[in-house]
Amino acid sequence: MSSSLPPPATDENLHLVDAAATQINDKVELLPGYEPDLSAATFCFKAEDHTIGNSLRYMIMKDPRVEFCGYSIPHPSEAKIHLRIQMYNGASALEALRDALDHLDSLLSTIDQAYDENLQAGDFERFEEPVLDKEDLARRADEGRKRRAEEEKSKA
Amino acid sequence: MAPRTKKVDDMDLDPSPSTSSRAQIVASSSASEPVDKRRLVEILPERVGSVASTDFPNHYPGELHEWDLERFRSNLKVAITRLSSGQCEFDLVGVDASVANAIRRVLMSEVPTVAIEHVYVWNNTSIIQDEVLSHRLGLVPLKIDPDRITMRNPGDDADDQNTVVFNLKQKCERNPKAAKGETDPEKLYIGSNVYSSALVWDPKGDQEEDLADCPPRPVHDDILLAKLRPGQELELELHCEKGIGKDHAKFSPVATATYRLLPHIQILKPIPPHLCEKFRKCFPEGVIGIRGGEGEQEVYVKDARRDTVSREVLRYPEFEGHVKLGRVRDHFLFDLETSGIIAPEKLLPTAIKVLREKIAILKSGLDHMERAKGLTGAGDE
């Protein structure tokens, strides 16, 4: 990943982790009422929205062990999403969530690769952006001004 | 391309994965070649049908639609169709709407760029108020590579790593050489128009060497910022910081990032020759073609990509049952227009990088939560 990512926060190195990373301490919360074996749980992601919410939900639903998956935004003014996962046969929702994050990452890297290959192949139409012809505009403005001056004279 | 009606499990995998050429993708999409009914969003006279994607496990009995990276890779097609210095159009086929939308959202609001954030007004005797001028300055796109500048967090001091400084100093004077009775302000006064070319970079600290290969400057030199008259003066110091579109739209690298779904036109029953012309006029020019001689004319789909799906054809009872309109649910026609800071062909890779970083942060957050709750290993509370 890029080097600008802060190091994962452990309890020991918390004082080294910079301001942006204190987000990580606060990022995911397990809402009360989860099953003891975590077969059903609601995760609360702070500072997230439909961008991650919907795509993560899609990837979790692709897991055959998942019985239910849905996300909601409790209030549009607060940047939080609630992601509910319920599993078949006592499987772990945490595991399904982690797998989905990995799959989403590999999906994105596959798209990146395919795009890059396509860009290198160079088989597409290249065109020039239309540029404003300033001289033509200036000339027309001058003509208009002359015409208006003549009209004024003829009226006067 | 044969119509796909087999079950997903034993579906033929495209023998040549995402290496299908742009020509092939464009040709098959223009001609509205038959696609699997499951991939179509139906556009009916009174409603839109089959909107949600159904490729989830347990949706169709006996079919497994679980996530399979290899199957995804072979179905994925990415093909750039048009590229210029300001715009990039490409086709993205085989991804779900949620992912395409995530890419679009990230492009508009979470790809970081550098823009003027703080304006220190030493002197402003112009008629433009300080705050109005500052607002306009913030919106000026600056050609600064965002990767070279770090984000300034609240509480950080401004240093040469997180801030770029510009100076704007212009004075307006009367032009002694102007003709008598001249009315054009450009000729009457010197320096009456303040353009973005007046922004002068003031390198601080190590910036002189670090940013030597791509010196910070506005993308366009001819953005009119303010108008002055003789005696009026502007002297400003501009501090630029890195930010994201979510914070303020000035940080958005795209003028706009949109996508539309590929329109799909199916001609179920042949159109009678005397109605061919009327049928053709129901669609934008170039969408429908007519071939054949006198009295034997038939209608065919020439270029469905040009269709704007106005559903005009659904208004006429004579075409009822002859045509079926729809959109292909997983074929996205992206159109990205850059504001000039990031090259258009680099927009998608940058968005994907940002999205992957978000996923990495989420994984770290999960790690932290697991440790905090003592869930690692045994998994009991």
Domain span at residue B225? 113-250
In a domain, B371, yes or no: no
CB contact (8 A) between residue B83 and residue A30: no
Check residues A153 and A14 and name the one with the higher pLDDT: A153
From CA A92, how far away is CA A72, in angstroms rounded? 21
Half-sphere exposure of B235 (CA within 13 A, CB side): 5
Q: Are residue B121 and residue B201 in the same domain, yes or no?
A: yes
Closest-CA distance, A136 to chain B, in angstroms, reads 17
Give Dmax over CA atoms of chain B in angstroms: 91
Quote the pLDDT of residue B18: 45
From CA A51, how far away is CA B104, in angstroms rounded? 9
From CA B283, how far away is CA B312, in angstroms rounded? 7
Cβ-based neighbours of A142, under 8 Å, separated by 6 or more: none
Q: What CATH number does residue B278 fall under?
A: 3.30.1360.10
Quote the pLDDT of residue B296: 86
**Which pairing describes strands A125-126 and B77-83: parallel, antiparallel, or unpaired?**
parallel
In a domain, B286, yes or no: yes
Contacts of A59 in chain B (CB under 8 A): 67
In a domain, B299, yes or no: yes
Quote the pLDDT of residue B375: 74
CB contact (8 A) between residue A62 and residue B371: no
Half-sphere exposure of B356 (CA within 13 A, CB side): 20
Type of residue numbered A72: S
Contacts of A4 in chain B (CB under 8 A): 150, 357
**pLDDT of B346 higher than 70:** yes
Q: Are residue B259 and residue B246 in the same domain, yes or no?
A: no
Neighbouring CB atoms inside 10 A of B93's CB total 20
Q: Are residue B140 and residue B120 in the same domain, yes or no?
A: yes
In a domain, B56, yes or no: no
Q: What is the ipTM of this complex?
A: 0.89
Last residue of one domain, picked from the residues B229, B250, B271:
B250
- Sorting pLDDT into bands at 50, 70 and 90, what band is A24? confident
Q: Are residue B324 and residue B219 in the same domain, yes or no?
A: no
Closest-CA distance, B108 to chain A, in angstroms, reads 11
Tokens describing residue B224: 């009119």
Closest-CA distance, B71 to chain A, in angstroms, reads 11
- Sorting pLDDT into bands at 50, 70 and 90, what band is B376? low
In a domain, B54, yes or no: no
Q: Are residue B313 and residue B186 in the same domain, yes or no?
A: no
Closest-CA distance, B236 to chain A, in angstroms, reads 29
Burial A106-140 (b: 16+ CB within 10 A, else e): ebbebbbebbeebbeeeebeeeeeeeeeeeeeeee
**pLDDT of B8 higher than 90:** no
Cβ-based neighbours of B242, under 8 Å, separated by 6 or more: B112, B113, B114, B146, B149, B150, B151, B152, B162, B251
In a domain, B209, yes or no: yes
CB contact (8 A) between residue A108 and residue B359: yes
Q: Which of A120-134, B72-86, B184-198, B234-248 has the lowest mean pLDDT?
A: A120-134
Question: Which residue in B57, B156, B364 is closest to A24 by CB distance?
Answer: B364
Q: Are residue B172 and residue B144 in the same domain, yes or no?
A: yes
Q: Are residue B230 and residue B265 in the same domain, yes or no?
A: no
Beta bridge partners of B242: B114
Instruction: Reduce the DSSP state of residue B28 to 3 states and report it.
Output: helix
B342, B304, B341, B349: which is closest to B324 by C-alpha? B304
Q: Are residue B40 and residue B123 in the same domain, yes or no?
A: no
- Sorting pLDDT into bands at 50, 70 and 90, what band is B374? confident
- Sorting pLDDT into bands at 50, 70 and 90, what band is B184? confident
CB contact (8 A) between residue A25 and residue B360: no
From CA B286, how far away is CA B292, in angstroms rounded? 17
Q: Are residue B98 and residue B195 in the same domain, yes or no?
A: no
Q: What is the mean pLDDT of residues A33-50?
A: 95
Quote the pLDDT of residue B280: 95
Question: Which residue in B82, B365, B371 is closest to A124 by CB distance?
Answer: B82
Beta strands of chain B (E only): which ranges?
40-43, 48-49, 77-83, 87-93, 113-124, 164-171, 173-174, 189-190, 193-195, 199-202, 224-227, 233-243, 254-267, 288-291, 298-301, 323-338
Last residue of one domain, picked from the residues B216, B250, B284:
B250
Tens of pLDDT, residue by residue over A1-22, are 444 455 555 554 444 444 344 5
In a domain, B21, yes or no: yes
Quote the pLDDT of residue A8: 54
Q: What CATH number does residue B139 fall under?
A: 2.170.120.12
In a domain, B192, yes or no: yes
Q: Are residue B79 and residue B178 in the same domain, yes or no?
A: no
Q: Are residue B24 and residue B139 in the same domain, yes or no?
A: no
Tens of pLDDT, residue by residue over B13-70, are 444 444 567 888 999 999 999 999 999 999 999 999 999 999 999 899 999 899 999 9
Total structural domains in chain B?
2
Tokens describing residue B142: 């600056």
Last residue of one domain, picked from the residues B212, B235, B250:
B250
Tens of pLDDT, residue by residue over B56-99, are 998 999 998 999 999 999 999 999 999 999 999 999 999 999 99
For residues A108 and B356, is the Cβ–Cβ distance under 8 A?
yes
Q: Are residue B102 and residue B143 in the same domain, yes or no?
A: no
